[in-house]
Chain A
C-alpha cells in the first residue's frame, strides 16, 4: 500500500515536472522568435503534463467514493405551487380590473414593437430591381477582369474568358463567360447574338450563385464546382445534371466598328439563383 502511494507520487510529480520543463521550453522558443510546430508541441506538453498529473492524483490519492446523496423528493411541491398561483392571481387582480388600461398598454407595446422594426430597415437598401439587372448596357465593351477590351482574334477557338462590362469590373452580378465556339458547332441563341461563334453566358450558377468555373471544351459543357450542376453550352446552357433548374442567361453580343466585342444589352432575365418574385419583372 505504502509502495503504491509512493509510486503514484513519483508519477504525478514526473507529469508536473514535464509540464514545467515544457513551459520553460515554450518561453525559450517564444523568445527565440517562435516556431509554430514547437510552440504547439510544447504547449501541448505543458497542458498535458498538468492534465495527467491531476488525473493520477484524483484517481490514486483522493477519496474515490462511491458517495451516496439523497435526491430530494419535494413533498411540499403542491402547497408551494398553490401559494405561487395565489400570489400571482392576487397581484393580477387590480390589473385585470382595469381592462381598458390593460388593453391600451398592450396596444402601446404593439405599436412600439412595430416602431422598433424600422431601424432594421437601415441595415440594407431596398432590393428594388437590383436582382433583375446587371451592369451590362447596349454597347458595353466586353473587358477582362483587368479592364482590357477583347478582340475576337484574341480568344482561340474553344477558349474561354471571364469578362465584365467596361468600367464595371467590380460588378459581381455582371461576371460573364465568353466562349469561342468552333465553326462546325451550331451556336445557341438568336443568330444575331453570336458574332463569329462567340457566345456569352452569365457566370453565376442559377442554383446557389457560385461562379460556374469549369469548362470542358470537348463536350462544350460548363461545370459548377459547388454542387456539380452541368450546363450544355450548345443547348443554350441548359442544365443537364445536378440541382440547377434553369439555363445560364445568355448575353447578346456583337462586334463594334473598332473591332471589339460589345454587348447589345443586358441579359433578358435575372442572373443567378432563384428568388420569390424572379418571374415578375414589372
Chain B
C-alpha cells in the first residue's frame, strides 16, 4: 500500500527526493520549541471552530425583538448579530461549546505567540540569519491581536460595544487624519451601523488569510534554515541534534495538537467565557461596570487608565489624551520590537550567523532590558483592573492609580538592575541555576 502510493505520487510529481529528505529531517527537542507549534495548533482550532460559528452568526445590526430560549431577555430589542449569538449559544446543539472553545483558543493562541516571542528574544534566536522570521512572527502577533479584538466585538453586546467605542475614540485621536480615519473605518460617527459587518469580513477573511499566509512563510523559513538548538555535548553551529520528523517528532507534534485541543475542549465545555447574555445587547447610552477587555489588550487599557490628564493644544488644534497611551505607546512598542534584531546587531557589532542559542545569562544586558520591558507592560496590564483592586481593597481608585504610576516608573529599572546582577553572577560563577547561586556571587562586583 505504502509502496503503491509512493510510486503513484513520484511518477507524477517526482517528489521522492524531497520526501526522503523531509521525513529524515532532524528537529531539536526542547519544551520551549513547542510554543510556536502550540500557536499553530490553536490557529487550526480557531479555523475549525470558527467555520462552524460562521454558519450561524448573522453580522447585521438591524433590530428585532428577542423571543428565544434565554428568558431574561425575552421581549427586548436586540440586533440580529446579538440574537444570532444567543441562538447559537442556547439553541444550536454543541453551539455553546464551539463558541466557548473558539474564545478560549483565541486567548491561548495569543498567549502562545507572546511566550514564543519571549523565548526567541531571551535566547537570541532572532539573530542573523533569522531576522526575517522575527519580523514575520511579530506581524503574526499583531494580526492575532487585531483578529482577537475584531472577533470579540462581533456579538454586539454591551461589553464589546464599549471596547469598540474606545477604539473609535482612539482612532479619532490620531492627528490630522483621525476624524477621516474614524469615519472611514466605522462608516460614520459612532455607533455607525456598518462596523459589525465590516469587522466580520476582517475577522473571518482578511486577517485569517494573512495569518495563514504568513504562518506558511514562517514555517517554510524555519524549515529552510533548520531550527536553532541549545548548546550541549555534540551540538555545534554546524549540526542539528534531535529527533527525525518521521515517525517520532511527527507523532509528538500530533500529540500536542490533540492535547491542546483537549484542553480547549474542556475549557470550552466547563469554564464559562464571554457570557454575552449577562452583559446585554449594546445600547449607546449604557455601560457595564466594571469593564475589562480580553487579557491581550490589558496593557493598552491600563495605559489609558494610567496616563495623566495631559494633552497638547495649540492654535485650535490638539493632540487628544488617548493618542499618547493608545497610539504612541503601541507605535513605539512595536517599532522597537521590529527593529530589535538590527539595533542589537548594531550595538554589539555581532553580525555573525548563529544557530546555537544563548542562555539568558550569556547576554545579561539583553536579558535585563527584556525583563525591564516586561515589568513595564506587566504594570500596565495590572493597572487595567485598578477599579477591581480598589473595590477589593476598599482603597480609593485614585490612590491605586497613583501607586501604579509610581510603580510604572520604578519597577522596570529595578527589575532590570536585579536581573542584570543575577545574570552576571550566573555567568561568572557558572552556577547551574538561580537556586545554586552562592550568596557571595551577588555581593562581589564584576571584575572584568
- Contacts of B101 on A, CB cut-off 8 Å? 40
- Contacts of A226 on B, CB cut-off 8 Å? 162, 166, 287, 291
- Contacts of A62 on B, CB cut-off 8 Å? 247-248, 251
- Closest beta carbon of chain A to B314's beta carbon, Å: 9
In whole angstroms, what is the CA distance A89 to B94 when docked? 60
A65 at the interface (CB under 8 A from B): yes
- Contacts of B344 on A, CB cut-off 8 Å? none
Which of B65-73, B211-219, B303-311, B357-365 has 4 or more CB atoms under 8 Å from chain A? B303-311
CB within 8 Å: A-B pair count: 275
A235 at the interface (CB under 8 A from B): no
- Contacts of B261 on A, CB cut-off 8 Å? 47, 51
In whole angstroms, what is the CA distance A203 to B283 when docked? 13
B61 at the interface (CB under 8 A from A): no
The residue that B248 contacts in the complex, of A44, A58, A131, A275, with Cβ under 8 A, is A58
A123 at the interface (CB under 8 A from B): yes
- Contacts of A43 on B, CB cut-off 8 Å? 97, 262, 265-266, 268-269
The residue that B287 contacts in the complex, of A40, A225, A278, with Cβ under 8 A, is A225
A58 near B252: Cβ-Cβ < 8 Å: yes
In whole angstroms, what is the CA distance A30 to B254 when docked? 26
B270 near A207: Cβ-Cβ < 8 Å: no
B417 at the interface (CB under 8 A from A): no
A241 at the interface (CB under 8 A from B): yes
Q: Which of B284-334 contact A (CB under 8 A)?
A: 284-291, 304-305, 307-311, 313, 315-322
B269 near A36: Cβ-Cβ < 8 Å: yes
B265 near A47: Cβ-Cβ < 8 Å: yes
B279 at the interface (CB under 8 A from A): no
- Closest beta carbon of chain A to B297's beta carbon, Å: 13
A51 near B258: Cβ-Cβ < 8 Å: yes
A172 at the interface (CB under 8 A from B): yes
How many chain B residues touch A (Cβ–Cβ < 8 Å)? 97
Most buried by B among A52, A58, A273: A273
The residue that B305 contacts in the complex, of A172, A227, A245, with Cβ under 8 A, is A227
- Contacts of A173 on B, CB cut-off 8 Å? 189
In the complex, residue of chain A having the shortest beta-carbon distance to the beta carbon of B167:
A208
A264 at the interface (CB under 8 A from B): no
B108 at the interface (CB under 8 A from A): no
In whole angstroms, what is the CA distance A82 to B175 when docked? 47
A91 at the interface (CB under 8 A from B): no
- Contacts of B398 on A, CB cut-off 8 Å? 228, 230, 241-242
- Contacts of B287 on A, CB cut-off 8 Å? 210-211, 213, 225-226
Q: Give the interface size class of chain A.
A: 35 or more
Interface string of A58-93 (1 = CB under 8 A from B): 100011111111110100000000000000000000
In whole angstroms, what is the CA distance A199 to B87 when docked? 42
A280 near B262: Cβ-Cβ < 8 Å: no
- Closest beta carbon of chain B to A139's beta carbon, Å: 22
B373 at the interface (CB under 8 A from A): no
In whole angstroms, what is the CA distance A140 to B234 when docked? 83
Q: Which of A224-272 contact B (CB under 8 A)?
A: 225-230, 239, 241-245, 272
- Contacts of B165 on A, CB cut-off 8 Å? 208-210
A143 at the interface (CB under 8 A from B): no
The residue that B180 contacts in the complex, of A38, A127, A280, with Cβ under 8 A, is A127
Known A-B contacts A51-B259, A125-B183; the reply to A277 vs B316 at CB < 8 A is yes
- Closest beta carbon of chain B to A134's beta carbon, Å: 10
In whole angstroms, what is the CA distance A229 to B309 when docked? 9
In whole angstroms, what is the CA distance A241 to B401 when docked? 10
A124 near B185: Cβ-Cβ < 8 Å: yes
- Contacts of A242 on B, CB cut-off 8 Å? 305, 309, 398, 401
A71 near B183: Cβ-Cβ < 8 Å: no
- Contacts of A172 on B, CB cut-off 8 Å? 189-191, 284-285
Q: Which of A104-163 contact B (CB under 8 A)?
A: 120-121, 123-127, 130-131, 145, 162
A225 near B188: Cβ-Cβ < 8 Å: no
A210 near B240: Cβ-Cβ < 8 Å: no
B242 near A67: Cβ-Cβ < 8 Å: yes
B239 at the interface (CB under 8 A from A): yes
In the complex, residue of chain A having the shortest beta-carbon distance to the beta carbon of B232:
A66
B255 at the interface (CB under 8 A from A): yes
B94 near A30: Cβ-Cβ < 8 Å: yes
In whole angstroms, what is the CA distance A158 to B440 when docked? 66
B25 at the interface (CB under 8 A from A): yes
- Contacts of A123 on B, CB cut-off 8 Å? 184-185, 187
Top 4 closest pairs, chain A to chain B, by CB: A40-B269, A274-B320, A172-B284, A225-B289
Provide a sorted-by-A list of 12 A–B residue pairs whose CB atoms are within 8 angstroms: A37-B270, A54-B258, A62-B248, A67-B241, A69-B24, A69-B26, A127-B180, A130-B188, A214-B289, A226-B291, A276-B177, A276-B317
Q: Which residues of B contact A (CB under 8 A)?
A: 24-26, 29, 93-94, 96-97, 100-101, 162, 165-166, 168-170, 172-180, 182-192, 194, 226, 234, 237-244, 247-248, 251-252, 254-259, 261-263, 265-270, 283-291, 304-305, 307-311, 313, 315-322, 355, 386-387, 397-398, 401
Taking A208-B322, A275-B173, A276-B317 as known contacts, 15 extra A-B pairs with beta carbons closer than 8 A to each other, sorted by chain A number, are A43-B262, A48-B259, A51-B256, A51-B262, A65-B243, A66-B242, A66-B243, A71-B355, A145-B285, A172-B285, A207-B304, A213-B286, A213-B289, A227-B304, A276-B175
